[in-house]
Amino acid sequence: MENFLRPIYQERASNQNTKGITMIEKTTQHSTLTDSFDIIMLIIVTDVDQAWQVKHYEFEGKTAALHTVREDMLMNWIDTSGYRAAVEWIIEGQIVFDRNEYMSNLRNQLREFPNTKRDLRKVIEFGKLIKSYTEAKNLFEMEDFKDAHSKIMNSLLHLARLAVIEKGYYPEVTVWSQVKKIDLEVYKLYEEFIESNEEISKKAELMILAMEYVISNRARTSVNHLLTVMQTKESEWSFAELTNEDTQAYILDLAAIISYLAEKEIIEIVLEPTKGIDVHQRKYKIKS
């Protein structure tokens, strides 16, 4: 199959816009990474109009997917968990073309996972976690136990990804295998939830209580990116002011994050009078 693909990627490698090419083959270890294809090839380019293009190939019963992605889109995927498999393709794949050691340097950067990128990924996952967890609690209170059970499962997945990021790793597609090795507290929550023989209502109730404790302990460190943004001025922030370029990656979950942080007194609410009688605008600042 590689012999069939070689002319294709050699043609791309001759283009000055191509920064690097990596390839990963389907094996028992990598079976979850290749989207059911036998080979995935990732080509990183610059100065092209189409940010992402995928082509599928078949040759002698083997299949391949060729992903051509513009560098800025790839960086967005990496920073915001837009396409988790792409990170693993870079880290685990075989580099078949490397202009000026671009791929090697990128791979090293991903393995190092600097704190600035880690803080952004943490608050993104924390936002998704809080939103899902809050929905689970609301559904439980409405006695909609099956949907609450589903939302708890989703919350556990976000908690698992957060735990992996805290340890300095990018979450893999097979995240629970990662968590089992590096954060037994979170893994035990997951294990107890899926293996419990309790009635679904009781199981949901116990997990909501357990997760509240775990989430609360992680809250401040998880939102360091947002708190750093809020420290850039001394006065309080309106919600509109907080929905700026710095918070774009988690803007859809920002309201849930703000509400949780206010509830936990990590930030405080400042009521500002408006022209309406007894109507105040809520603003926010870090609690001193």
Tell me the pLDDT band of 29, cut-offs 50, 70 and 90: low
Please check whether residue 89 is in contact with residue 24, taking contact to mean a CB–CB distance below 8 angstroms.
yes
In a shared domain, residues 143 and 270: yes
Instruction: Tell me, yes or no, whether 136 and 196 share the same domain.
Output: yes
For residues 174 and 212, state if they share a domain. Answer: yes
Over residues 227-255, mean pLDDT: 95
Q: Mean per-residue pLDDT for 243-272? A: 95
Q: Which residues pair with 282 in a beta bridge?
A: 271
Residue 54 forms part of a structural domain:
yes
> Which of 112, 140, 169 is at the close of a domain?
112
* Domain boundary residue, one of 90, 112, 134: 112
Cα–Cα distance for residue pair 95/86, rounded to 1 Å: 14
Say which range, 87-91, 128-132, 249-253, 255-259, has the weakest mean pLDDT: 87-91
Residue 28's pLDDT is 65
Claim to verify: residue 70 and residue 142 sit in the same structural domain? no
Same domain, 102 and 125: no
Radius of gyration over alpha carbons of the chain, in Å? 22
Domain that holds residue 102: 2-112
pLDDT at 10: 84
Give yes or no: residues 87 and 141 share one domain.
Answer: no
Let me know whether 88 and 124 are in one domain. Answer: no
Sorting pLDDT into bands at 50, 70 and 90, what band is 85?
confident
Same domain, 96 and 130: no
Torsion on CA atoms 180, 224, 253, 76, rounded to nearest 10 = -80
Residue with tokens 């794949």: 93
Domain count, the chain: 2
Q: Please write the tens of the pLDDT for every residue from 91-136.
A: 989 999 999 999 999 999 888 888 889 999 999 999 999 999 999 9
Position with higher pLDDT, 4 vs 122: 122
For residue 76, being part of any structural domain is answered with yes
Domain boundary among the residues 112, 143, 159 is at: 112
In a shared domain, residues 122 and 193:
yes
pLDDT of residue 1: 62
Q: Do 150 and 213 share a structural domain? A: yes
Full-model pTM: 0.88
Within this chain, do residues 32 and 146 fall inside the same structural domain, yes or no?
Answer: no
